[in-house]
């Protein structure tokens, strides 16, 4: 399962409240997303607008440590290129190592909200593959400061992201697949996919990966639809399609409760088929609420 750090001002209990109901399913690991800074404009007393950089959901590393301590289960922090210099990334990885967190999901991250395209930090990593290279170098005992001698190698297991329906910036699937293969060749040990609602897309993606020579586990990402609004929001936010049968099932619902049931039923059917077809593990995007995931998991595990 993947959880989000709570909004600034909330405490760790909200995280435990999300995870507690799901622990009976014995998740082998719990992912914690990373949220980069956003720019907001605040009015000054003089009436001017002041641009401020804020992180609304800080705490990924602390939450991972708390999860491992509280539940004795592996926590996987998401680490991103955006907003970090390589030095800052190295420092963050050192913190993780000291905390005994030796799994990471290495991602590029998206553009800052209201910016048209992703721009790396000066002296930062540009693509996820660059981040993978940096972690691999630390696993070989090489730090950025070449004067650091005889360093203890870190032991990170590195996951990367994959997109059954293509990453929205990639010119085509073949190009995206080549970049994915390069991330694996660089040291990615497994792939977690973007959410999808049509299993055929996942199966086709796995087949294409295998043809490309990618042999690592490919973990399907799933999310139960719980509101009618998500029919518009999810395709826009994640560049994914929602199959017409699911759209029909949701549109004919009479109220919010029925929509939720239809979304959960769909996700249960997806999960059952994926397990039957041998998916290595299922990854649920909880998006901060465990109820729907619990309903699905109780039918599968
Ligand atoms: P990359 O692998 O770097 O790919 C980005 C784009 O560049 C692709 O189109 C790719 O084809 C292309 N590309 C790659 N390498 C090259 C190259 N060398 N030259 C030219 N083009 C290249 N975002 C967050 O901010 N925080 C999170 O916690 C988070 N968690 C996620 C978890 C999962 C499972 C997934 C699937 C996504 C997650 N994201 C998260 C979103 C992710 O950061 C965005 O989708 C981002 O736009 C791409 O990240 P990436 O790691 O796939 O990038």
- pLDDT tens digit string along 119-167? 999 999 999 999 999 999 999 999 999 999 899 999 999 999 999 999 9
Mean pLDDT of 256-273: 98
Q: Whose CA is nearest to atom 13 of ligand 1?
A: 179
Residue 191's SS3 state is: strand
Mean pLDDT of 72-77: 98
Q: Which residues pair with 42 in a beta bridge?
A: 50
Going by C-beta distance under 8 Å and a sequence separation of 6 or more, which residues neighbour residue 247? 231
How many A from CA of 208 to the centre of ligand 1? 18
What is the fold, at CATH topology level, of the domain defined by 2-300? TIM Barrel (3.20.20)
Q: Whose CA is nearest to atom 42 of ligand 1?
A: 109
Whether 120 contacts 83, CB under 8 Å: no
- How confident is the model over 213-229, as pLDDT tens digits? 999 999 999 999 999 99
Residue 255's SS3 state is: coil
**Distance spanning both ends of the chain, measured CA to CA:** 13
DSSP 20: G
Residue 114: band (very low, low, confident or very high) from pLDDT cuts 50, 70, 90: confident
Whether the CB of 127 sits within 6 Å of ligand 1? yes
- How confident is the model over 21-43, as pLDDT tens digits? 999 999 999 999 999 998 888 89
Mean pLDDT of 191-205: 98
Which atom of ligand 1 has the smallest separation from the CA of 192?
Answer: 34
Residue to mutate, 167, 191, 195, 234, ligand 1, most ligand atoms under 8 Å from C-beta: 167
* Whole-number Cα distances in Å, 234 to 38, 87, 177, 229: 20, 34, 23, 9
Whether the CB of 78 sits within 6 Å of ligand 1? yes
For 263, counting Cβ atoms within 10 Å of its Cβ (0-12 exposed, 13-18 middle, 19+ buried), the class is buried
pLDDT at residue 280, rounded to an integer:
94
Write out the two tokens for 41.
Answer: 């404009």
Whether the CB of 107 sits within 6 Å of ligand 1? yes
How many A from CA of 253 to the centre of ligand 1? 35
Which atom of ligand 1 has the smallest separation from the CA of 170?
Answer: 9
DSSP 32: E
Going by C-beta distance under 8 Å and a sequence separation of 6 or more, which residues neighbour residue 176? 163, 166, 167, 170
pLDDT at residue 40, rounded to an integer:
87
Which atom of ligand 1 has the smallest separation from the CA of 111?
Answer: 47
pLDDT at residue 115, rounded to an integer:
87
Which atom of ligand 1 has the smallest separation from the CA of 127?
Answer: 3
Whether 109 contacts 120, CB under 8 Å: no
Express as a percent the part of the chain with pLDDT over 90. 94
Q: Whose CA is nearest to atom 1 of ligand 1?
A: 128
pLDDT at residue 22, rounded to an integer:
96
Residue 200: band (very low, low, confident or very high) from pLDDT cuts 50, 70, 90: very high
* Strands 190-195 and 218-222, bridge-based pairing: parallel
For 260, counting Cβ atoms within 10 Å of its Cβ (0-12 exposed, 13-18 middle, 19+ buried), the class is buried
Question: What global pTM score does this model have?
Answer: 0.97
Mean pLDDT of 189-193: 98
Q: How many other C-beta atoms can be found within 10 angstroms of the C-beta atom of residue 164? A: 24
* Whole-number Cα distances in Å, 139 to 32, 108, 111, 156, 161: 22, 20, 28, 7, 20
How many A from CA of 194 to the centre of ligand 1? 10
Residue to mutate, 127, 173, 177, 212, ligand 1, most ligand atoms under 8 Å from C-beta: 127
Whether the CB of 176 sits within 6 Å of ligand 1? yes
For 47, counting Cβ atoms within 10 Å of its Cβ (0-12 exposed, 13-18 middle, 19+ buried), the class is exposed
Mean pLDDT, the chain, as a whole number?
A: 96
Please give the Cα distance from 59 to 12 (Å, whole number).
9
For 224, counting Cβ atoms within 10 Å of its Cβ (0-12 exposed, 13-18 middle, 19+ buried), the class is buried
Whether the CB of 112 sits within 6 Å of ligand 1? no
């Amino acid at each position: 399962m993947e959880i989000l750090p709570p909004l600034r001002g909330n405490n760790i209990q909200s995280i435990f409240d999300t995870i507690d109901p799901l622990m009976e399913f014995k998740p082998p690991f719990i992912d914690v997303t990373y949220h980069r800074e956003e720019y907001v404009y605040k009015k000054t007393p003089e009436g001017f607008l002041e641009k401020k950089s804020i992180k609304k959901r800080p705490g990924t590393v602390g939450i991972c440590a708390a999860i491992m301590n509280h539940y004795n289960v592996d926590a996987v922090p998401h680490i991103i290129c955006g907003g970090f210099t390589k030095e800052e990334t190295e420092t963050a990885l050192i913190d993780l190592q000291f905390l005994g967190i030796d799994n990471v999901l290495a991602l590029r991250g998206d553009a800052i909200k209201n910016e048209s395209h992703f721009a790396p930090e000066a002296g930062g990593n540009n693509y996820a593959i660059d981040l993978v290279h940096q972690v691999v170098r630390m696993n070989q005992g090489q730090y950025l400061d070449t004067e650091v001698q005889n360093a203890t190698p870190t032991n990170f297991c590195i996951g990367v992201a994959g997109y059954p329906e293509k990453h929205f910036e990639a010119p085509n699937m073949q190009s995206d697949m080549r970049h994915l293969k390069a991330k694996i060749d660089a040291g990615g040990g497994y792939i977690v996919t973007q959410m999808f609602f049509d299993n055929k897309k996942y199966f086709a993606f796995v087949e294409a990966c295998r043809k490309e020579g990618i042999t690592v586990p490919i973990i399907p990402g799933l999310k139960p639809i719980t509101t009618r609004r998500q029919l518009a929001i999810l395709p826009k936010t994640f560049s994914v399609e929602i199959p017409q049968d699911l759209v029909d099932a949701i549109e004919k619902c009479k109220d919010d409760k029925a929509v939720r049931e239809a979304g959960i039923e769909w996700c249960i059917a997806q999960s059952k088929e994926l397990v039957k077809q041998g998916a290595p593990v299922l990854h649920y995007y909880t998006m901060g609420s465990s109820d729907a995931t619990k309903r699905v998991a109780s039918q599968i595990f």
